[in-house]
């Protein structure tokens, strides 16, 4: 039976705009995330993809309440995270941990590996004594494929891939129910990326945490995701199983993103769909369907009426008036 671990409903975030003389009186906010609803089951990986600035990292932080939502609710294992006080939230964070993109910046250079990995255990009181924490650090290092002998070294002695293993050990040290992995392999060499992806998959299989995997590389996502959500200008425009998204994407934006992904077989070639224009500014989101200025099949209704996310054509949920499966042949 599928157990829902995380649920978000109507989540939105508007960052305040600039005002005053320097900004010529502009005060309109930046709509970074707009009306996002999603859920994740135990042991499931939901990948969130989209171009830079589409709101995927902000969404990850909203889910953990690292930033406060403007509206909407998040619950983890049935607890309404949005209603917790500051102190309650600090304790609750044990259940939801984050792995960041930059393994160089996210480890304190002055601390030993043992100290770094022990931090969450100390904060949340999951291991009562220093000795128990040290034993747990040894166990975690083995789990992430590092020798226990490294625990008294400092981060500067490690490569990017090894540092990301340390970050992952720290994240899983308190047995979280949810992990938000924000571009966890994009700063690593291609050869190391696969090792980290495999490690995350193995750990998930052992522990059963739900994982939100934020990425822009659709080739990487294909390896790790169970389901995929595609974001554009702060909204989810398509969400479905990996097979639905990769074999029959319905939204023109998803189709364009996937057309740029190299085929596994060199004998197969996809027709590349090149979108016109740049992603519009989230300060001035286009009316109707926000994708209409770049959409190759836009019609009049698209400029005035925002399409709702809905199941269409027996496939994924898609926000498009004219959605149609495209096998990307
Ligand atoms: Fe394109 Fe219209 Fe669909 Fe938006 S609703 S993706 S503009 S066809």
Segment-wise mean pLDDT, segments of 10 residues, the chain, 329 residues: 91 82 60 96 97 93 95 95 90 93 87 96 91 96 96 95 95 96 91 93 96 93 96 97 95 93 63 81 91 95 97 93 79
Q: Two tokens at 105?
A: 């910046």
Q: Two tokens at 135?
A: 């034993």
Atom of ligand 1 nearest to the CA of 299: 2
> How far does the centroid of ligand 1 lie from the alpha carbon of residue 275, in Å?
13
Element (H, E) at 294: none
Torsion of CA 223, 225, 226, 231, to 10 degrees: -140
Q: Give the binding-site residues of ligand 1, using a 6 Å CB cut-off.
A: 251-252, 289, 291-292, 295, 297-298, 302, 307, 320-322
Atom of ligand 1 nearest to the CA of 292: 7
Give the model's pLDDT for residue 327: 64
CA distance 47 to 3: 18
Predicted structure pTM score: 0.92
Pick the residue whose CA is nearest to atom 8 on ligand 1.
298
Give the model's pLDDT for residue 102: 84
CATH class of 4-19+30-114+176-318: alpha beta
Element (H, E) at 230: strand 227-232
Pick the residue whose CA is nearest to atom 5 on ligand 1.
320
Ligand 1: residue of 50, 276, 293, 297 to mutate (most ligand atoms within 8 A of CB) is 297
Could you tell me if 167 and 103 are in contact, meaning their C-beta atoms sit under 8 angstroms apart?
yes
> CA 253 from chain center: how many Å?
18
> How far does the centroid of ligand 1 lie from the alpha carbon of residue 233, in Å?
14
For residue 107, give the 3-state DSSP assignment: coil
Give the model's pLDDT for residue 215: 95
Give the model's pLDDT for residue 319: 98
Could you tell me if 36 and 11 are in contact, meaning their C-beta atoms sit under 8 angstroms apart?
yes
CA distance 171 to 223: 21
Give the model's pLDDT for residue 269: 61
22-to-16, 30, 80 alpha-carbon distances in Å? 15, 17, 40
């Amino acid at each position: 039976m599928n157990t829902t671990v995380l649920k978000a409903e109507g989540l939105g975030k508007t960052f305040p705009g600039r005002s005053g003389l320097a900004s010529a009186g502009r005060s309109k906010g930046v709509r970074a995330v707009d009306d996002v609803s999603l859920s994740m089951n135990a042991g499931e990986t939901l990948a969130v993809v989209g171009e830079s600035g589409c709101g995927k990292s902000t969404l990850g932080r909203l889910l953990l309440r690292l930033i406060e939502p403007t509206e909407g609710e998040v619950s983890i294992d049935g607890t309404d995270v949005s209603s917790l006080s500051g102190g309650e939230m600090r304790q609750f964070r044990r259940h939801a941990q984050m792995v960041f993109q930059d393994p160089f910046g996210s480890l304190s250079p002055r601390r030993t590996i043992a100290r770094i990995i022990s931090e969450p255990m100390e904060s949340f009181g999951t291991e009562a004594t220093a000795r128990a924490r040290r034993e747990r650090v040894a166990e975690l290092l083995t789990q992430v494929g590092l020798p226990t002998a490294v625990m008294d070294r400092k981060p500067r002695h490690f490569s990017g891939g090894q540092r990301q293993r340390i970050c992952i050990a720290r994240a899983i040290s308190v047995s979280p129910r949810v992990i938000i992995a924000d571009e966890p392999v994009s700063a690593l060499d291609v050869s190391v990326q696969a090792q980290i992806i495999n490690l995350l998959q193995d750990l998930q299989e052992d522990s059963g945490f739900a994982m939100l995997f934020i990425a822009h590389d659709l080739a990487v996502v294909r390896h790790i995701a169970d389901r995929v959500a595609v974001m554009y200008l702060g909204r989810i425009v398509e969400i479905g199983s990996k097979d639905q998204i990769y074999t029959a994407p319905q939204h023109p934006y998803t189709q364009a993103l996937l057309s740029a992904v190299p085929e596994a077989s060199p004998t197969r070639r996809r027709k590349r769909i090149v979108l016109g224009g740049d992603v519009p500014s989230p300060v001035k989101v286009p009316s109707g369907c926000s994708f209409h200025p770049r959409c190759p099949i836009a019609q009049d209704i698209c400029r005035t009426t925002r399409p709702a996310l809905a199941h269409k054509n027996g496939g994924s949920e898609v926000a498009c008036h004219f959605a149609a499966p495209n096998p990307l042949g």
